[in-house]
Structure 1
Amino acid sequence: MNITARISQAPMSGYQWLIIALCTFMNCLDGFDVMAVAFTGPSVTEEFGLTGSQFGLLVSIGLVGMAGGSMLLAPFADLIGRRPLILISLTLGTIGMFGAAMAPSVTVMGIFRLVTGVGVGGILASTNVIASEFSNAKNRGLAIGLYTAGYGIGATVASLVAKTMVGGDWRIVFYAGGFGTLLALVVVAVLLPESIAFLEQKRSSGALARINRTLTRMRMKAVTDADLDHAAATRETKRADSGWLKQRIPPTILLWIIFITIMFGFYFVNSWTPTLLVEEGLSEGAAVTAGTAISIGGTVGSVLYGVVARMRTPRVVLIWFSLLAAAMMVVFIVSASTLWLGFGIGVVVGALINGCIAGAYTVGPPLYPANVRSVGMGWALGMGRIGAILSPTIAGMLKDAGASATQLYVGAAVVVAVCALVLVGLRRYDPESSPAAKDALAG
Structure 2
Amino acid sequence: MATINPETVIANSKFNKFHLLVFIWCFIAIASDGFDIAVYGLGLPQMMSDFEITPATAGAIGSYAMMGMMIGTFVLGTMTDVIGRKRVLAICLVIIGLFNFLAGFAPNETVFVIFRFIASIGMGGLMPAVISLMAEYSPRKNRAMIVALMYCGYSIGTIGASLLGIYFLEYLSWRLFFWVSIFTVVITPFFLKQFPESISFHLARGNKEKIADILNRATGTDKYSAADEYAIPDTASVEKGLPFKKIFSERKALSTIMFWIAVISCLLMISGLGTWLPNIMQESGYGVSSAMIFTMTLAVGQMSGSLAGGYMVDKIGHRNVLLTLLGTGAAAFVLLSLTGSTVLLFVLIAVAGACTAGSQNLINPYITMFYPSDIRGSGLSIAVGMGRIGSITGPLLIGWVLMTNMPAQLSFLGFALPCITAFCALLFVQEQYGTEVQKGRFRKVKEAAAV
TM-score, shorter chain, exceeding 0.5? yes
User: What residue number does 2:209 align with?
Assistant: 209
Cα deviation per residue 1:274-317 (whole Å; 9 max; x = unaligned)? 555666x6545766654543233223322222222233322322
Where do residues 113-152 of structure 1 align in structure 2 (5 Å cutoff)? 113-152=116-155
Gaps of 5+ in 1: none
Is 1:72 the counterpart of 2:75? The answer is yes
Which moves more between the two structures, 354-363 or 49-58?
49-58
Is 1:300 the counterpart of 2:307? The answer is no
Is 1:29 the counterpart of 2:32? The answer is yes
- The structural deviation recorded for 1:352 is 2.6
Cα deviation per residue 1:98-154 (whole Å; 9 max; x = unaligned)? 322333443333221111111111111211111111113332221221222111111
- The structural deviation recorded for 1:405 is 6.4
With over 3 angstroms needed to count, the CA separation of the structure-2 counterparts of 1:144 and 1:190, relative to structure 1, is same
User: What residue number does 2:328 align with?
Assistant: 324
Query: Distance in 1 between the 2:42 and 2:79 partners?
Result: 33
* SS of equivalent residue, structure 2 residue 212: helix
With over 3 angstroms needed to count, the CA separation of the structure-2 counterparts of 1:313 and 1:41, relative to structure 1, is same
> Does the aligned pair in 1 maintain the 2:103–2:116 contact within 8 Å?
yes
* SS of equivalent residue, structure 2 residue 265: helix
Say which of 55, 60, 67 aligns to 1:57.
60
User: What residue number does 1:264 align with?
Assistant: 268
> Which amino acid in structure 2 is aligned with residue 297 of structure 1?
G
Gaps of 5+ in 2: 445-451
- The structural deviation recorded for 1:25 is 0.6
Query: Distance in 2 between the 1:176 and 1:260 partners?
Result: 30
With over 3 angstroms needed to count, the CA separation of the structure-2 counterparts of 1:173 and 1:203, relative to structure 1, is same
- The structural deviation recorded for 1:411 is 4.1
User: What residue number does 2:99 align with?
Assistant: 96
- The structural deviation recorded for 1:359 is 0.8
Say which of 342, 345, 348 aligns to 1:345.
348
Query: Distance in 2 between the 1:316 and 1:174 partners?
Result: 39
Query: Distance in 2 between the 1:291 and 1:172 partners?
Result: 18
Say which of 368, 371, 374 aligns to 2:374.
371
* SS of equivalent residue, structure 1 residue 218: helix
> Does the aligned pair in 2 maintain the 1:315–1:433 contact within 8 Å?
no
Query: Distance in 2 between the 1:289 and 1:193 partners?
Result: 37
The structure with more helix, counted as a fraction of residues:
1
Query: Distance in 1 between the 2:370 and 2:330 partners?
Result: 25
Say which of 213, 226, 229 aligns to 1:227.
229
- The structural deviation recorded for 1:80 is 0.9
Query: Distance in 1 between the 2:105 and 2:282 partners?
Result: 35
Higher RCO, 1 vs 2 (CA within 8 Å, ≥6 residues apart)? 2
> Does the aligned pair in 2 maintain the 1:274–1:284 contact within 8 Å?
no
With over 3 angstroms needed to count, the CA separation of the structure-2 counterparts of 1:240 and 1:385, relative to structure 1, is closer
Query: Distance in 2 between the 1:36 and 1:270 partners?
Result: 9
Query: Distance in 2 between the 1:66 and 1:430 partners?
Result: 27
Q: CA RMSD in A?
A: 3.0
Query: Distance in 2 between the 1:237 and 1:430 partners?
Result: 14
Query: Distance in 2 between the 1:420 and 1:138 partners?
Result: 27
- The structural deviation recorded for 1:47 is 4.1
> Does the aligned pair in 1 maintain the 2:88–2:129 contact within 8 Å?
yes
Cα deviation per residue 1:252-283 (whole Å; 9 max; x = unaligned)? 2111111011122333444445555666x654
- The structural deviation recorded for 1:173 is 2.4
Query: Distance in 2 between the 1:8 and 1:186 partners?
Result: 29
Query: Distance in 2 between the 1:164 and 1:325 partners?
Result: 32
- The structural deviation recorded for 1:31 is 1.5
With over 3 angstroms needed to count, the CA separation of the structure-2 counterparts of 1:410 and 1:107, relative to structure 1, is closer
Query: Distance in 2 between the 1:288 and 1:236 partners?
Result: 51
With over 3 angstroms needed to count, the CA separation of the structure-2 counterparts of 1:55 and 1:438, relative to structure 1, is same
User: What residue number does 1:236 align with?
Assistant: 236
Query: Distance in 1 between the 2:280 and 2:100 partners?
Result: 31
Cα deviation per residue 1:370-416 (whole Å; 9 max; x = unaligned)? 32222221121122222122123234445667777686544422321
> Which amino acid in structure 1 is aligned with residue 352 of structure 2?
V
> Does the aligned pair in 2 maintain the 1:264–1:415 contact within 8 Å?
yes
* SS of equivalent residue, structure 1 residue 330: helix
> Which amino acid in structure 2 is aligned with residue 92 of structure 1?
I
* SS of equivalent residue, structure 1 residue 300: helix
Where do residues 383-402 of structure 1 align in structure 2 (5 Å cutoff)? 383-397=386-400
* SS of equivalent residue, structure 1 residue 334: coil
Is 1:195 the counterpart of 2:198? The answer is yes
Cα deviation per residue 1:32-67 (whole Å; 9 max; x = unaligned)? 112222233344444444444443333332222111
Query: Distance in 1 between the 2:169 and 2:281 partners?
Result: 27
* SS of equivalent residue, structure 1 residue 437: coil
With over 3 angstroms needed to count, the CA separation of the structure-2 counterparts of 1:439 and 1:370, relative to structure 1, is closer
Query: Distance in 2 between the 1:260 and 1:61 partners?
Result: 16
Is 1:164 the counterpart of 2:168? The answer is yes
TM-score (norm 2): 0.85
Query: Distance in 2 between the 1:316 and 1:48 partners?
Result: 46
> Which amino acid in structure 1 is aligned with residue 211 of structure 2?
I
> Does the aligned pair in 2 maintain the 1:198–1:370 contact within 8 Å?
no
* SS of equivalent residue, structure 1 residue 310: helix
- Sequence identity, in percent? 25
